[in-house]
Amino acid sequence: MEKLIGLSLFANIGVAEAYLKDIGVTIAVANELLENRAKFYQEVYPETEMICGDITQKEIYNQIISKSKEKNVNFVIATPPCQGMSTAGKQHPNDERNYLITYALNVINELNPKFILLENVPQQLRTTILVNGKKVLIPDYIVESLKEKYVINADIVNSVDYGVPQMRQRSMFLMVRRDLKIKWNFISSNEKSKPITLFESIGDLPSLDPQIQGFSLKEQLEYFPDYETKRNNGLKISKWHYPPIHKLRHVEVMKYTPEGCSALENTFYYPKNSSGTKVKGYKNTYKRQWWNRPAYTVTTYNGAICSQDNVHPGRYIGIDTNGEKLYSDARVLSIYELMIVMSIPRDWPIPSWASDSLIRHSLGEGIPPLIIKKLFENLLKELSQDDEN
């Protein structure tokens, strides 16, 4: 069976590729715009030729083409940035990033790969771009550009069906060049996994108290007497299971917020701004997740208590001196917990120099790698059966 050798466009830090080497699939060439992400990717995947730069620039585009031909690339995986389409973003119809799909298709047409995987947020299906002066839906543009040469299989994929403990939908296109006479399939209904809950995935991890922004260690221990003990217990599990840093006023309200609820619904301990005025917001902000459900979608703002559905479920730990119920883990998920709910291998070699913001933002833009692994396993199965025939 011919070895699968790939090009990864808009590669981020390589989240999608985390399991490909394990199943014999090679990413030979990758392209990423941002230097710190490209450096991260290169350290995790030293065998990959990383081309750092803007694909819309002729020099970078030509490097991608020449290196891919040199490495005998026979598949392309492309995950164009989604901020112009995502429901977590501004959804500006003229966002230049919406047009990056055109460069991906230009690369595909030049390389003529045997297999293609394109993925993005479901909102892509309702997003238009201007092509020859006319508004065209992105999926229609993809199909019209490639249908003559490729058999196209498109679907909305939910990560929970692929064994990922997170509810995350993606629009995906699987394509096979027509001369190959095979089809690349999504998993069948009877292959879909039973949803994995947060309790099943991270419920055994040590509790963490958040680090209060601006507090000295003495002040921290006065507020959370067990802070250091919990922190050390977390680090014994992983160097990435450490306390996130939060503002005191955010931590204070989450201490009084139970599982599955938003602090905005609290009678007394509700979010206030720095002037003491009650904050207005959606009821999925300042909100704890549920233990008995998969995680909500990990967004790029996963480090903020005030953003969407980010806060650890916590556990009831007693009452305060006023008789108010208190709950543990008044914080967002740790980076280690995010890795788990993203289905990233627990020993994935994150570079030690990578900042919290780089890791969190990149994970929020990534696709759970277990989805990619299972889709490529399906392709490998098809190729193996084709060889036998």
Contact 170, 159 (CB under 8 A): yes
> What kind and span of H or E run contains 50?
strand 49-52
Determine the Cα–Cα distance for residues 354 and 43; give it in Å rounded to an integer: 11
CA dihedral over 265, 270, 273, 277, signed as positive or negative? positive
Element (H, E) at 51: strand 49-52
Cβ distance 257 to 263 under 8 Å?
yes
Strand, coil or helix: what is 84? coil
Q: Is 82 a catalytic residue?
A: yes
The C-alpha R_g of the chain, in whole angstroms, comes to 23
- 52, 82, 261, 306: which one is catalytic? 82
Whether 307 contacts 301, CB under 8 Å: yes
- C-alpha neighbours within 13 Å on the C-beta side of residue 275: 3
Q: What are phi and psi of 327, to 5 degrees?
A: -135, 145
Q: Which residues have CB under 8 Å from 21's CB, separation 6+?
A: none
Angle between helices 58-70 and 100-111 (to 10 degrees): 40
The residues annotated as belonging to the active site are 82
